[in-house]
Amino acid sequence: MSNALADTPEGAVVGIEIPHESATLHVTGAALYTDDLVGRTQGVLHAWPVQVMHVHARVTAMRVEPALAVPGVARVLTAADVPGINDAGVKHDEPLFPTEVCYMGHAVAWVLGETPEAARLGAEAVEVEVEELTSIVTVREAIDAGSYQGAARTVSRGDVEAGLAAAAHRFSGELEIGGQEHFYLETHAALALVDEGGQVFVQSSTQHPSETQEIVAHVLGMRSHEVTVQCLRMGGGFGGKEMQPHGLAAVAALGATLTGRPVRVRLTRPQDMTMTGKRHPFHASWEVGFDDAGRILALRAELTADGGWSLDLSEPVLARALCHVDNAYWVPNIELHGRVAKTNKTSQTAFRGFGGPQGMAVLEDLLGRLAPALGLQADELRRRNFYGPGQHAPYGQPIRHAERITEIWERVRATSDYDGRSAAVAAFNSAHAHVKRGLAITPVKFGISFNLTAFNQAGALVHVYKDGSVLINHGGTEMGQGLHTKMLQVAATALGVPLGFVRLAPTRTDKVPNTSATAASSGADLNGGAVQDACRQIIERLRGVAAATLGVHGHDVRFSGGMVTALGGGAALTWAEVIADAYTQRVSLSAAGYYRTEGLHWDAERMQGSPFKYYAYGAAVTEVEVDGFTGAYRTLRTDIVHDVGDSLSPLIDRGQVEGGYVQGAGWLTLEDLRWDGSDGAGRGRLATQAASTYKLPSFSEMPEDFRVEFFARAHESGVVYGSKAVGEPPLMLAFSVREAIRQACAAFGPAGHCVDLACPSTPEAVFWAIESARAEMRVALSTTTPAHVEA
């Protein structure tokens, strides 16, 4: 019996379509989230931030006495109360209680009240005096002022100057890429308690409990073993709860240690949107050269990420962006430079794709924009530049399974009837003057693993009880993505028991220590490997117990479906019988599992190495219809072929593909973060701080015909049960939406019209692109139509 990580046994529970393990709890409202625990806890104090409404200022005085006079206010937390380090980040640039206001709405103190209303009134009563400082709001302002933070990075290969000089066609341009609000249904929340021994217990809506534990400990001046953090589940995360929850948990923990009472922090939606980070907006400038066949010879680009007021995760986000500019395309000569801008906005953070989408947007945009200038269809231009077997990424990693790019591309072209529908779109556009359709196909190649090699490890704890029931605990967190469902399936498969035998406990730092964030699409890979390892340790012990009873060699014992049998048939034992025998024989029924991703190496200074375990591939075809009067669009149909390896849980993976695509479409076409860039009193204010002003995808933006297919023959060796990550890669399939909109806009202009489309491509931006196309059409008509001559 093979113990290879990727080998799937007969009777496996992985690969079976089952609902999310908490689906019933979700739809009935019975699922508990962090803030639901407040009602089950006595004597809770509620925290409210003292936000300063200046874009950049120095605090010169703060008086808390008026707040203490408000009925129901118990305490005001300030920097003077911090017994440890007054910092909420890992770069020591995020003071928990700052003396410098770095963005509008920055919290400088927190009020604890008997009720949320008392805390709110207390926060309003705190008197803060400030001295206004010069502010930088936009990325362009930061570039002009040289306002940067963190290290500059470069990825390069070949000779870009020589490549550009040899190019038959050279172009240059710029692209502004918008950010994105996470808008998880559950806003940030934490609940902290202190026991009789001074041990701090924090319930937190966090993707990274171990780091939350570390930050809470250093703020309180404690060691990590004095702080326990638990995450029941999150109502969405998308990266927004990877780094940002730490300071909020620390506020709750500080309040609890000072008052001896439980303290709750829960941000309102406007607070969450004005105080916490978002997807990084980017500015990109580029120069590219093509040969006469449309193949890219050279690309030089400069990417500037808007990091906001502190570094947070901006450096690794930038690194991943630089590593994904190439997407699915071979660029022999390439030079990519990256910087993180420092602006007076929220500290931008992780978001599904972690910089990868912004990097890919650069090359996808210029290919879509320039295809008409090269006399090629956009899909043909893309195909001509695909990676082939034996080629390497700009940072040196071999592109394993590069042939899958073309195979997936051809598969989705066939299943979507791309050629037939292209002709139908052209016919429709010829017959309609004010409504046009567009059809586009785009690929995805996304690297899986944390860029920082040390994060690619995980642990798990598995207990088998005397009655045969199983309890598993792992370091990953559940935010609706189905990780726990997959871990239940992995454990049941590794132990050879029915799914109903296995239960999963909430993620806690005192059960599995030193965990990595549930991020980088690596949750199932890492934690699945650890769960499988723990289960296999137990199975190896049980093998000897069962072998003695069955009278066979241990290697011939099989565990499947809750039965234990010998190879070739004969007598059979139940799982419960073997467990009972093992307990009687004093065989341990518990194991700590561990997994580390092999084969990774990365030089962050040189930006060279093999940072990814593998690549996830996919392609999407999208057809849209655009209204020429308003710029509004409808997504008529989407066809996706995506590589998920051997799916651990097909229903879960399908949901991730569909949800990722829709979230990507929101980022690229709808969600428009607006900060006030004027010089008035509102400078730096986030204008889109609620669902009323920030447009999110809804059912009306879903494709009317949505088809998803998993790529066949996609087994991935060296990964748990041959599966592949699915959290982030599908988001970038949504480039097909934006490119289809570009095609529709082009149909309003003359043949060969190059469409410069803003990002996000909101209806307003689409309208102006259509107007530009119409203006060019008028020019074309005026130069080709003979002038009327009077008789």
pLDDT tens digit string along 683-692? 999 999 999 9
Per-residue burial over 560-598, b = 16 or more CB atoms within 10 Å of its CB, e = otherwise? bebbbbbeeeeeebebbbbbbbbeeeeeebebbbebebe
CA-angle at 460, arms to 455 and 465, nearest 5°: 175
- H helix intervals, 433-503: 483-495
The pLDDT assigned to 1 comes to 41
269, amino acid identity: R
Q: What pLDDT was estimated at residue 783?
A: 85
Q: Give every CB contact of residue 321 below 8 A, 6+ residues apart in sequence.
A: 282, 303, 305, 338, 355, 356, 358, 359
The pLDDT score that the predictor gives to residue 570 is 85
**Do the beta carbons of residue 688 and residue 674 sit within 8 Å?**
yes
**φ and ψ at 111, to 5 degrees?**
-105, 135
CA atoms of 140 and 675, how far apart (whole Å): 13
The beta-strand segments (E) located in 629-674 are 633-642
Active-site residue numbers?
728
Check residue 490 and give left, alpha or beta (phi > 0: left; psi -120 to 50: alpha).
alpha
Exposure on the CB side of residue 82, measured as CA atoms within 13 A: 21
Maximum C-alpha span of the chain: 114
Could you list the beta-strand ranges (E) of 424-540. 435-448, 457-464, 470-474, 502-504, 507-508
* 250-274 pLDDT, tens digit each: 999 999 999 999 999 999 999 999 9
Residue 431 tokens, joined: 């017959």
The parts of the chain modelled with pLDDT lower than 50 are 1-2, 787-791
**Bridge partners of residue 296, in order along the sequence:** 290
Residue 569 has a pLDDT of 83
